[in-house]
Amino acid sequence: MENQLELIGPQKAAALEELHSCNEMTAPFGLSLSGTQMLALVENRFQALQNTGRVEFGEGILKKLIYAFCDSPFLTQQNYEETISDLQDIFYFFKNESLDQIPDDELIDYMKKVFDGRAQGSVEYLEGTSLEELCRSMREGYDALGRGEDENEDEDEDDDEAGDLL
């Protein structure tokens, strides 16, 4: 890993170190990333940022995605790298689609609920149906819970947020 860090830029090196620390958290779920997989995810991160015209300062979204999704019953060692990579692409795309009106943690929570719920682990469903509905609602003046701006914000927060929009 040391030699890899010397060959890449400081941002990518920091991202690799961040991913390396995730393996401790994901090990109990039978998930880990090899050095090659980490490098591929970091490269994908920078490509996704470029493709969406986004800029990140500091920590990227990969660590948050890994922590949020590592306990998903639909993640296995065999699909782990590809799924996290796809989720990262979806995250950046929908941050743009929502006009950055959805906080990162709220978008990740929504993605996780749909992924583990209605999508049954299907990244295609998550990307093609549920998040588009979320973004459309956001552009029309609804929050991520599907409430209009004038509706009461004190409603029970234990409601199925993902189901409110579908």
Q: What's the pLDDT score for residue 97?
A: 80
Q: What is the pLDDT of residues 83-138, one digit of tens each?
A: 999 999 899 888 888 788 889 998 999 899 989 998 999 999 988 876 677 777 66
Q: For the chain, what is the domain count?
A: 1
How crowded is residue 1: how many other Cβ atoms within 10 Å of its Cβ? 11
Residue percentage of the chain with pLDDT more than 90 = 36
88 touches 79 (CB < 8 A): no
Task: Reply yes or no on whether the pLDDT at 148 is more than 70.
Answer: no
Average pLDDT for the chain: 79
Domain span holding position 35:
2-150+158-164
Q: What's the pLDDT score for residue 142?
A: 55
| Residue 79, amino acid | N
Both structure tokens of 116: 């583990």
Strands (E), 5-146: none
Residues 94 and 75: their CA atoms lie apart, in Å, by 21
